Every structure is written in C-alpha cells, then in structure tokens.
Amino acid sequence: MKTNDGSQKNGIATAADLVVCGKIFTSENDRIVEAFAVKDGKYVYVGDRKGSEKFIKEGQTQILDHTGKGLVMPSCGNGHAHYSMGYATHSVGTIVGGHDDVDKFLTKIVPNAVKKARKTGATSIFGFGWSVMLFTENMPTRQQLDDICDDIPIYFADEEGHKGIVNTICLVNAGIMDKDGNVLKTEVRGGEIVMGDDGTPTGFLKEQAGTYVRSFLDNKKLFPVDIAKENMAKIQEQMLSEGYTMYMDGWSPYFYNDHLYQAARQVDEAGDMHIILGLSYEIESWMNVDEALAKADEAQKYRTTHVLPNWVKLFMDGTVEGSTGFVDPLYPDGHQGLANWEEDEVTDITRKANAKGMAMHIHTMGNKAVNRCINAFVNGGKDELRNTIVHVRNVNDPDWQRMADHNIYSTSGMIWHHFPTGAPEILKTLVPAGMEDKSYPMKSYFDYGINVSFHSDYPALSGSPDDPFGIMEISVTGVMDPEKESPWWTEELITREQAITALTINCAKQMFIEDERGSIKEGKYADFLLVDKDVLSCPVNEIHTAKPEATYFEGKKVFSI
C-alpha cells in the first residue's frame, strides 16, 4: 500500500533522494530527531537514524551526516522586510551613509547624484539613508538643493524611510507649491509638510507627506521591470545565504507601480524562485481607499506557486523614539504622535480586504496605534485571516488577551530588543512615562498563545543584524553583539526554542503556508538549513556567529559556503 506521504509501497520504503542525519530541531513542539529522508522535494520520513536506513538505496540516495557539526533545522522566515526597496535604492538611487553629515550630503553626495542623472538622462533623482540624528540640527532645505539642481526632482529618504528631503520642483510637481513660489497645499493627511519662518515649505517632509510627494516622481522610469528582475536574483542570494526561504515584503509597490509583482511572477515562471515571497499592497492615508483596494485585489493576478500577493499594508503611525508613534500617555512635551488612520477607517478597510480574502499587515509602534488596530480587527475582520500587526513597540495589558481571542498575529521587532546601558535616562526625555525601559515585548506573545514571527525590517535595521541568528541572540539575551551592554527588559526574553519557533513555523503560519513549510514533518517541503553551530547548546553570546553551511529549498541545495 502507498502511504499518504508516498513513502512506502507494499510495505517497502521508497528509496529517498536524500537522507540527513544529525541533531535536528523540527519546529514541531520542540521535537528533536536524528534523521529525515527526502523524496521529490518533500520529507517522507522524520525520526531516528535507524528508521532512516530503510530509505537508503546505494547509488540513488545521497547521505548527509551533520552529526557533531552543528544543528539541522527548518529554514527561516523574515516576517517583514524591504529587500525589494533596499536593493532598488542601490540600483536606481543614491545611498547616503549612516555617518555622512549634512556638509558631505550637500557638497558631494547630491552633486554626484545630479551629475549621474544628467549623464544618464534620468527624470528623477532618488536617494536613501540619511541619519535623522545627524541632520536634525541642520536640516538641508529645498533652496539648498535648488542651488545644486532646480530642474530635476530630487527626493532623499531617511534611513527609516519615514522622512524625506526634496527640492522645489519636487514640491511643484506634487501640487504643494506653484512655479511662482505660492503655497498651494499645507497639509497631507498622516504627515507633515514642515514650514519655514517665511510660511513656505522647507523641503522637509514627514511620514505620509513624504510618500505623497514621492508618488509624483517618474516612478515608472525610475524602477522598471528589468531592474526589479535583476534585483530578485540579488535578494535571493542574500536571503538564502542568511538562511531565509520565506519572506514577507513590507511595501511591494514602493515605487507606485506593479513592476515588482511582474518581475516576481516572471522569475518564478522561469523556475528561478527559491523562496516563498509574500507581497503586500500598501495603501496610504491620502489615497482613495476604494480605488487602492481594487488595485490590491487586482494584484492577486500575479500569484504563482511561490509568489503570494495576499496582503494589504497600512501605516498606522510612525516611530516612538522619533515622536511620531501614536501613544498613550502623551510624550513629555504633551503631544500624542501621528495617527494616519481613524479606527472606523481601519475597520472598514479590514472588512473589505478580508471579504476578498486579503489579510491585513499594519505598521504599528505606539500602544495607542496597536489598540486601534486590534479594535479594527476585532470589529471588522475575520479571525481566520490572521490579520497582523507589525513591529509593536508597546502593548496595553488588556490587548494581549484580545489578540489571543481573535487570532491576531504579530511580526515583532525583536531585532530592536536592546539598548545601550543608560538608555532609559535618555528615553525619559523622549518617550511617554513608563515606556523608557520597556519596548518590543516577546515572551508575552508565547504566554498568551499568540502567533509571533521575527522580522528584520531590512534595510531599516538601525544598526541591528539582518540574519536570523543575530536576531535570535538578541531575543534570548536582550543584548546585541558587539555592544556588550546590560540586557534589555529581561522579563520579556525568550528561550532558544521559542526563538527558532518564531523564525520558522510561526512565519509559515503568518504566510498561510504552515501545511507545506516551516517545520520538518513528513509530507512537507524539505526546506532546511545545515547550521555550522548548535545554537541550542552553544554559549549564548555565540549564537550570532552561527551561519548556514547550506540552505535547501524543496529538497535542493540553493546555497552553500
């Protein structure tokens, strides 16, 4: 007889293509086994070494013995990142280094970008990466950019992508000003057009004001499909080398077109997609919501075996340390932060998106933003759609149980669960009382039975690691190497097993693929890692040094050192 997983026929085991032995963490209730067998890209046996022997046929079965060499585990998932945007900015834009100051920006970086644009005939100049900390006291103005270039729109986003610096023509094209310098628009919903003492825009834009103005760049020419396809190969190379085979893209139409969607489908149809790619369609608060939802629904036509355009993305607020997160109590200066959406709007969007089978994926930092999203999911969402909050700096105590009761997921900013010693004293002047020594909870998700995954938010790392083992060490210790600081919020640290669970099966659940991936179980696709260190037993401060010796996707080696 043939079993459900196809492993036996007439009581005789089918010869496997591959048998792997060693210490194997399965991500199935912390189960550890000695061996597994793979046939046609799927696990056909998971258990002890002796049981795997019947799947070995000389000349047909490859045997990998990783015993004593490290850990074998499921490949990892990144529940929210911007690799597509990050690689696009390198391909089509100018990168500002995190240590580059305003003087270098104005005398070297922008002039070189303009020179390159004139040489290539570019119709927009785009850049990314300037440091808010370094620029705040001497923020470049549109007039200073005009002195360098006044005939090509310039837009430079900050390192987190939440703020922008532009020249005058960029504002003119967006209808913020006219060519004569008259101000036509002083507000953009969910953002701020920073005004100068003369009553005109300075060229500094915050939150949704920046995305609004950026949408008027010549994005079709700036980010064409062929560039998107080239970047997919680079993205996969980085992810597979770090151990990721599942990736939720946090802002897929970043350049306000469907070129990433087209590229992903073409790459998969060519047989070159070796990850599961989730795509989210971001709707800005200044957009016509119904038109944007229709475009998000239309984007589902790009679905393939490995490309899942199944999410609607919103920005609920900004960042708490940047004073734009939506919070309660108020910030020390008495303001509450920026809320891009009213609760009834998020409820309505959730209801409409869920009705079409699309799940919600919402950036939420402040506890008030988290509460608003939870209310919307409870009142407008379908529990089975696994609506997800992203980052989550702080949560009100009553909201934990509500998340559990309504199957609300989180992809957590565990990557930022560390701060320099003495940070609470500094943060007391920046964040609401009670939040200065508590941020990015982890353990509470497990305590309440809430599905939580890891993410890196690449390239908005803020100095934190992108790879899963660097993130794992932070989640277990509350310290990021090489800072060697005091552990952050120790009550919310998690175990190594919980960290791997968040990195693997929980990300698969977030992406609705847990029946096929995310753990080592008979019948699932064989997506796994050979790690060069046993991260379950090595010294805890060495977890971050672990690397994949090899990454397998559907039973095939797709990366090896």
> Cβ contacts of residue 29 below 8 Å, gap of 6+?
none
pLDDT(330) > 80: yes
pLDDT(3) > 80: no
pLDDT of res. 331: 98
Model confidence at 6, in pLDDT bands (50, 70, 90)?
A: very low
- Stated as kind and residue range, the H or E segment containing 38 is strand 32-39
pLDDT(233) > 70: yes
pLDDT(1) > 60: no
- State in words which class domain 83-221 has: alpha beta
pLDDT of res. 8: 57
pLDDT(10) > 60: no
pLDDT tens digits, one per residue of 517-537: 999 999 999 999 999 999 999
The span from the CA of 401 to the CA of 424, in Å, is 28
pLDDT of res. 337: 93
Model confidence at 402, in pLDDT bands (50, 70, 90)?
A: very high
pLDDT of res. 4: 39
pLDDT of res. 13: 75
In the chain, residues under CATH classification 3.10.310.70 are 83-221
Helix, strand, coil percentages, rounded to 5, for the chain: 35, 20, 45
In the chain, residues under CATH classification 2.30.40.10 are 1-69+516-561
> Is 97:244 a contact under the CB 8 Å cutoff?
no
In the chain, residues under CATH classification 3.20.20.140 are 316-494
pLDDT(9) > 80: no
Angle between helical axes of 259-269 and 225-242 (0-180°, round to 10): 60
> Is 1:38 a contact under the CB 8 Å cutoff?
no
> Does domain 1-69+516-561 bear CATH number 2.30.40.10?
yes
Model confidence at 5, in pLDDT bands (50, 70, 90)?
A: very low
The span from the CA of 415 to the CA of 135, in Å, is 24
Predicted model pTM: 0.94
pLDDT(426) > 70: yes
- State in words which class domain 316-494 has: alpha beta
pLDDT of res. 461: 84
The span from the CA of 473 to the CA of 466, in Å, is 12
pLDDT of res. 12: 61
Using DSSP's 3-state secondary structure scheme, residue 183 falls into strand
pLDDT of res. 2: 37
State the chain's mean pLDDT as an integer.
95
pLDDT tens digits, one per residue of 457-501: 998 887 899 999 999 999 999 999 988 889 999 999 999 999 999
Model confidence at 11, in pLDDT bands (50, 70, 90)?
A: low
The span from the CA of 255 to the CA of 155, in Å, is 12
Model confidence at 164, in pLDDT bands (50, 70, 90)?
A: very high
Q: 3-class secondary structure for 246-313?
A: EEEECCCCCCCCCHHHHHHHHHHHCCCCCCEEEEEEECCCCCCHHHHHHHHHHHHHHCCCCEEEEEEE
pLDDT of res. 448: 98
Using DSSP's 3-state secondary structure scheme, residue 410 falls into strand
